[in-house]
């Protein structure tokens, strides 16, 4: 179930607006506020932050060219470094999001919003925020980046549009109305029209689309809705109309080029008879879609919706010559749901978004929740510093709940709501509310924080649960129950080494702690069955439990009485909780990972034990070498267990930061969802800050930037390697690190070429070929495809691009 919270924003004067609630759940107060907003300032910030990810990436590239392959890097930054260095740095997306959030939710609107969240949380329901904007300038602002900036059990510290407790969409307050939708009982049928500007791009899109098509054909479960994807390649107007009329589709997905236009924008198709481009206006397309029962339109194309960076927009006169976009045309015509891009995004990112979005629809989630989860997936894949997650703009008509299909009685496998009976769910909410009240009365009540963490963990608010446990330990570092409970959360996240350390700390404080004892055995067995001994002096229980056992404090037992707490009171306490939870926890010194008993000294278990011992004794270099052996063997759990023995004061050493980044990097290649590229990049940036002259660290950081799509930063980092090598006297006789940097520059040039005009593309490909030939002629063994395939630093994407360079070199 979902609760609604609709807001409308109406201009009443110069930069003055009336913001009011239009629809709220029972028990939530209606509210309105007249506000004055600095729209021009926000638009200016947004223009800098949301610059076109494709054109912005490669702007000013042609200012410099390599005069030779070995020369000073001061004049060879091919990615506009001089321009960037002198440009003023705008605010962050988080900062802009916080400004927008605070501007919307102020005064009585804030109180109403907090009440709505508390009621939705209490009933275990999703809260849907719909924002209706009656001003074109307002529509250009990226409201999708709204950010509460606070850590609380309801929202968490994340952009509003990426959560699952609160989902976000826009609506058109002046829409003409839609006919009530009949429940669709059959499979969800999607028509994907691909109209890429080049044959090569069309083939690539077709290949990826067919992978998605095959994936969607496999049902997620017996009760999950069936999804059928039909691909229509390079259609003209007649073929598109015929496909829509005959296919009984519910979703229309367009991948190609679009633009603004006086008739609601245009999409570009290809005439079968003439081979020339032909336009289909947004208004004509809207009529075609409405007449054929389309409920959802998805546009993977540029200028599909209003954007802050639109150059065609006159601040005084509005859109030039009355130009409108596709989303506006379709929404006004009554299409229930429209998803469009504010800016262009790379095809690979768009395909990732499509995969994430449709996978969630396949689970039975509504459109807005599916998009929220897809945004979170983009952040995990590309990092929150990339703006891709903020570019999709979703419009849902007020009468449409986002459910494209009637689902079976069974809820989706990963339902947002809990699977507890109603009374249990309410009990958890009441426990959370009671804990908040206790904490407000006594901020040093560590037992209240511990119980709060357990309740939040049961509500799947994992990050908030960890914060609550860590706050309990900040107040009372020797609280064994909190250490054990923190270990339970780490274990469920797959952070086995962290879980082991937490359990060991609990047992050091309380050797008779039965739950920690059982949990430690389970975690050790997860690393290697019967290979690790429990902490000295602790007798192992028999048998070990199947799942970790959280500890129940005396306070938890005392508080099992009826907890009648006002919901509005708990909502007001949220920000007080944030201030408490967001304080950094005190450092906790964990006991060492236990050593193995006898066995092969070259086994992973023995090496882990030796590495742990080295780290405990402060022998960092020896410990690092041992962990590198484990990483070369790709036994990441053992490497993590060894790193857990590093003391807090040593964790910031560059060699340790590098190892932690490598663990995350290799885990990502294995598909481990507990790590992200953002983790790797942060660790390697920390390593470089600690030792900026280390070529290995710099090269690894370059690959991290490259994997994130940060081509300019990757380019700068690899140029820095050459500069360092030249100063160290190794450039004249290239080492493996120097050649790796040249290989990286070749990859960047190859990747950058794909977004250029034919003439520029040829120039950049030639540059990439020069660098490729230099590297391969110097060390053909190390940089051959077979050897690189065994190199942990080279990702499948990097290998594929290197293979493409090899093939084009052979063809040339």
Condensed to tens digits (0 to 9), the pLDDT of residues 688-725 reads 999 999 999 999 999 999 999 999 999 999 999 998 88
Would you state the pLDDT for residue 590?
A: 30
In which band, very low, low, confident or very high, does the pLDDT at 679 lie, cut at 50, 70 and 90? Answer: confident
Is pLDDT above 80 for 231? Answer: yes
Would you state the pLDDT for residue 694?
A: 94
Q: Is residue 569 located within the same domain as residue 698?
A: no
Q: Is residue 361 located within the same domain as residue 251?
A: yes
Would you state the pLDDT for residue 716?
A: 92
Q: Which of 547, 564, 581 is the last residue of a domain?
A: 581
CA dihedral 634, 638, 643, 645 (to 10 degrees): -170
- Identify the CA nearest to 435 among candidates 391, 471, 476: 471
Residue 259's alpha-carbon distances to 80, 198, 281, 326, in angstroms, are 28, 17, 9, 8
Average pLDDT over residues 81-87: 33
Q: Is residue 368 located within the same domain as residue 260?
A: yes
CA distance 255 to 347: 9
618: Cα within 13 Å, side-chain hemisphere: 1
Average pLDDT over residues 555-568: 36
Under 8 Å CB-to-CB from 148, ≥6 apart: which residues?
A: 98, 101, 155, 157, 160
Average pLDDT over residues 621-649: 88
Would you state the pLDDT for residue 545?
A: 34
Share of the chain above pLDDT 90, in %: 29
Which of the two residues, 368 and 452, has the higher pLDDT score? 368
Is pLDDT above 60 for 521? Answer: yes
Is residue 258 within 8 Å of 330, Cβ to Cβ?
Answer: no
Is pLDDT above 80 for 414? Answer: no
Q: Is residue 404 part of a domain?
A: no
Residue 293's alpha-carbon distances to 183, 289, 400, in angstroms, are 12, 6, 14
Of 41-50, 224-233, 407-416, 675-684, minimum mean pLDDT range: 407-416
Q: Which of 520, 551, 581 is the last residue of a domain?
A: 581
Q: Which helix (H) or strand (E) holds 744?
A: helix 736-753
Of 348-357, 358-367, 412-421, minimum mean pLDDT range: 412-421
Q: Is residue 590 part of a domain?
A: no
Give tens-digit pLDDT for 24-62.
888 888 899 999 999 989 998 888 887 644 444 333 333
Q: Is residue 316 located within the same domain as residue 391?
A: yes
In which band, very low, low, confident or very high, does the pLDDT at 584 lie, cut at 50, 70 and 90? Answer: very low
Residue 371's alpha-carbon distances to 213, 367, 392, 640, 780, in angstroms, are 19, 6, 8, 33, 46
Would you state the pLDDT for residue 323?
A: 59
In which band, very low, low, confident or very high, does the pLDDT at 537 lie, cut at 50, 70 and 90? Answer: very low
Which of the two residues, 723 and 576, has the higher pLDDT score? 723
β-pair partners for 10: 18
CA distance 21 to 350: 34
Is residue 150 within 8 Å of 126, Cβ to Cβ?
Answer: no
Which of the two residues, 584 and 705, has the higher pLDDT score? 705
Would you state the pLDDT for residue 31?
A: 92
- Identify the CA nearest to 289 among candidates 330, 321, 234: 330
Is pLDDT above 60 for 263? Answer: yes
CA 599 to the chain's CA centroid? 43
Would you state the pLDDT for residue 380?
A: 81
Q: Is residue 342 located within the same domain as residue 372?
A: yes
Q: Is residue 444 located within the same domain as residue 385?
A: no
Highest mean pLDDT among 45-54, 165-174, 217-226: 165-174
Average pLDDT, the chain: 76
In which band, very low, low, confident or very high, does the pLDDT at 72 lie, cut at 50, 70 and 90? Answer: very low
Would you state the pLDDT for residue 585?
A: 33
Give tens-digit pLDDT for 768-778.
998 999 999 99
First CA to last CA across the chain, in angstroms? Answer: 61
Cβ density class 491-510: b for 16+ within 10 Å, e for less: beebbbbbbbbbbbbbbbbb
Is residue 134 within 8 Å of 8, Cβ to Cβ?
Answer: yes
CB atoms within 10 A of CB 185: 8
- Identify the CA nearest to 144 among candidates 109, 101, 92: 101
Q: Is residue 88 located within the same domain as residue 213?
A: no
Is residue 29 within 8 Å of 19, Cβ to Cβ?
Answer: no
Is pLDDT above 90 for 395? Answer: yes
Q: Is residue 381 located within the same domain as residue 431?
A: no
Q: Is residue 643 part of a domain?
A: no
Q: Is residue 602 part of a domain?
A: no
Highest mean pLDDT among 205-219, 343-357, 505-519, 711-725: 711-725
Would you state the pLDDT for residue 130?
A: 95
Q: Is residue 496 part of a domain?
A: yes
Would you state the pLDDT for residue 48?
A: 80
Q: Is residue 435 located within the same domain as residue 390?
A: no
Would you state the pLDDT for residue 493?
A: 67
Average pLDDT over residues 290-310: 79
pTM of the model: 0.50
Average pLDDT over residues 485-514: 83
Q: Which two tokens stand for residue 430?
A: 């009441």
Which of the two residues, 297 and 583, has the higher pLDDT score? 297
In which band, very low, low, confident or very high, does the pLDDT at 149 lie, cut at 50, 70 and 90? Answer: low
Q: Is residue 159 located within the same domain as residue 41?
A: yes
Cβ density class 535-569: b for 16+ within 10 Å, e for less: beebeeeeeeeeebbbbebebbeebeeebebebbe
Q: Is residue 671 part of a domain?
A: no
Give tens-digit pLDDT for 435-451.
877 887 788 889 988 98
Highest mean pLDDT among 81-85, 113-117, 606-610: 113-117
For residue 34, the enclosing domain spans 2-171
Would you state the pLDDT for residue 622?
A: 93
Does residue 637 sit in helix, strand or coil? helix
CA 809 to the chain's CA centroid? 36
Average pLDDT over residues 283-307: 85
Q: Is residue 222 part of a domain?
A: yes
Residue whose pair of structure tokens reads 């340790």 in the numeric block: 656
Give tens-digit pLDDT for 658-670.
999 999 999 999 8
Is pLDDT above 60 for 283? Answer: yes
Average pLDDT over residues 735-758: 89
Is residue 420 within 8 Å of 428, Cβ to Cβ?
Answer: yes
Q: Which of 565, 581, 597 is the last residue of a domain?
A: 581
Q: Is residue 220 located within the same domain as residue 318?
A: yes
Query: What CATH number did the domain enclosing 278 receive?
Result: 3.40.50
Would you state the pLDDT for residue 318?
A: 42
Query: What CATH number did the domain enclosing 503 receive?
Result: 1.25.40.10
Residue 56's alpha-carbon distances to 372, 385, 424, 478, in angstroms, are 26, 15, 51, 52
CA distance 353 to 374: 6
Question: How many domains, in total, are found in the chain?
Answer: 4
Q: Is residue 570 part of a domain?
A: yes
Which of the two residues, 474 and 648, has the higher pLDDT score? 474
Is residue 116 within 8 Å of 24, Cβ to Cβ?
Answer: yes
Would you state the pLDDT for residue 733?
A: 60
Would you state the pLDDT for residue 485?
A: 92
- Identify the CA nearest to 232 among candidates 258, 199, 209: 209
Q: Is residue 692 located within the same domain as residue 561?
A: no
Which of the two residues, 741 and 806, has the higher pLDDT score? 741
Would you state the pLDDT for residue 566?
A: 36
In which band, very low, low, confident or very high, does the pLDDT at 90 lie, cut at 50, 70 and 90? Answer: very low
In which band, very low, low, confident or very high, does the pLDDT at 430 lie, cut at 50, 70 and 90? Answer: low
Would you state the pLDDT for residue 742?
A: 93
CB atoms within 10 A of CB 243: 17
Would you state the pLDDT for residue 730?
A: 58
CA distance 766 to 750: 9
């Amino acid at each position: 179930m979902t609760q609604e919270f609709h807001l409308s924003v109406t201009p009443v004067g110069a930069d003055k607006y009336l913001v009011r609630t239009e629809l709220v759940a029972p028990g939530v107060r209606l509210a309105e506020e007249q506000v004055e907003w600095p729209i021009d300032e926000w638009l200016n910030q947004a223009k800098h932050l949301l610059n076109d990810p494709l054109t912005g990436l490669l702007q000013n590239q042609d200012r410099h060219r390599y005069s030779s392959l070995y020369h000073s890097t001061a004049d060879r930054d091919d990615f506009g470094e001089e321009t960037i260095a002198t440009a003023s740095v705008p605010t962050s997306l988080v900062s802009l999001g916080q400004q927008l959030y605070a501007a919307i939710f102020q005064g009585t609107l804030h109180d109403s919003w907090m009440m709505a969240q508390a009621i939705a949380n209490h009933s275990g329901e999703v809260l849907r925020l719909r924002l209706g904007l009656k001003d074109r300038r307002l529509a250009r602002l990226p409201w999708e980046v709204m950010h509460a900036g606070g850590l609380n059990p309801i929202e968490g510290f994340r952009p509003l549009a990426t959560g699952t407790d609160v989902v976000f969409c826009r609506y058109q307050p002046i829409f003409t109305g839609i006919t009530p939708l009949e429940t669709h009982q059959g499979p969800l049928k999607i028509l994907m029209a691909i109209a890429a500007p080049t044959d090569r791009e069309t083939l690539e899109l077709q290949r990826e689309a067919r992978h998605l098509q095959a994936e969607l054909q496999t049902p997620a479960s017996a009760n999950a809705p069936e999804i059928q994807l039909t691909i229509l390649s390079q259609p003209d107007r007649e073929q598109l109309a015929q496909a829509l009329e005959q296919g009984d589709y519910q979703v229309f997905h367009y991948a190609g080029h679009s633009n603004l236009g006086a008739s609601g924008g245009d999409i570009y198709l290809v005439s079968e008879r003439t081979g020339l481009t032909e336009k289909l206006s947004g208004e004509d397309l809207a009529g075609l879609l409405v007449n054929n029962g389309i409920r959802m339109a998805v546009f993977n194309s540029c200028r599909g919706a209003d954007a802050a960076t639109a150059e065609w927009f006159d601040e005084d006169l509005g859109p030039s010559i009355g130009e409108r976009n596709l989303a506006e045309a379709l929404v006004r015509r009554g299409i229930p749901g429209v998803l469009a891009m504010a800016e262009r995004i790379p095809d690979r990112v768009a395909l990732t978004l499509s995969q994430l979005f449709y996978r969630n629809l396949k689970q039975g989630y509504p459109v807005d929740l599916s998009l929220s989860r897809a945004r979170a997936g983009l952040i995990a894949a590309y990092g929150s510093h990339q703006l891709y997650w903020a570019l999709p703009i979703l419009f849902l008509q007020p009468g449409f709940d986002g459910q494209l299909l009637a689902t079976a009685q069974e809820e989706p496998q990963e339902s947002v709501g809990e699977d507890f009976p109603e009374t249990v769910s309410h009990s958890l909410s009441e426990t959370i509310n009671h804990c908040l009240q206790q904490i407000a009365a006594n901020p040093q009540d560590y037992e209240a924080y511990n119980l709060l963490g357990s309740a939040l963990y049961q509500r799947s608010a994992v990050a908030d649960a960890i914060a609550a446990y860590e706050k309990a330990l900040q107040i009372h570092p020797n609280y064994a129950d909190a250490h054990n409970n923190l270990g339970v959360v780490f274990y469920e996240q797959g952070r086995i080494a962290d879980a082991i350390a937490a359990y060991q700390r609990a047992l050091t404080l309380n050797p008779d702690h039965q739950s920690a004892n059982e949990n430690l055995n389970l975690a050790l067995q997860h690393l290697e069955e019967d290979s690790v001994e429990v902490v000295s002096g602790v007798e192992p229980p028999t048998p070990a439990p199947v799942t970790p056992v959280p500890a129940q404090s005396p306070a938890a037992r005392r508080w099992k009485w009826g907890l009648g707490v006002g919901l509005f009171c708990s909502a007001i306490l949220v920000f007080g909780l944030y201030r408490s939870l967001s304080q950094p926890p005190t450092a906790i010194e964990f006991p060492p990972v236990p050593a193995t008993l006898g066995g092969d000294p070259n086994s992973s278990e023995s090496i882990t034990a030796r590495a742990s011992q080295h780290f405990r004794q402060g022998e960092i270099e020896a410990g690092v070498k041992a962990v590198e052996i484990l990483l070369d063997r790709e036994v990441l759990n053992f490497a993590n267990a060894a790193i857990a023995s590093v003391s807090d004061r040593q964790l910031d050493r560059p060699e340790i930061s590098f190892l932690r980044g490598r663990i995350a990097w290799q885990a990502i290649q294995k598909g481990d969802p507990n790590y992200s590229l953002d983790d790797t990049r942060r660790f390697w940036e920390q390593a470089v800050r600690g030792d900026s002259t280390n070529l290995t660290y710099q090269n690894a950081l370059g690959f991290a930037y490259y994997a994130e799509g940060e081509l300019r930063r990757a380019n700068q980092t690899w140029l820095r390697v050459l500069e360092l090598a030249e100063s160290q006297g190794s450039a004249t006789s290239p080492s493996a690190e120097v050649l790796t940097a040249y290989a990286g520059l070749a990859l960047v040039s190859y990747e950058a070429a794909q977004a250029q005009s034919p003439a520029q593309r040829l120039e950049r490909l030639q540059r990439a070929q020069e660098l490729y030939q230099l590297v391969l002629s110097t060390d053909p063994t190390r940089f051959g495809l077979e050897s690189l395939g065994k190199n942990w630093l080279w990702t499948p994407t990097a290998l594929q691009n290197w293979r493409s360079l090899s093939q084009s070199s052979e063809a040339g």
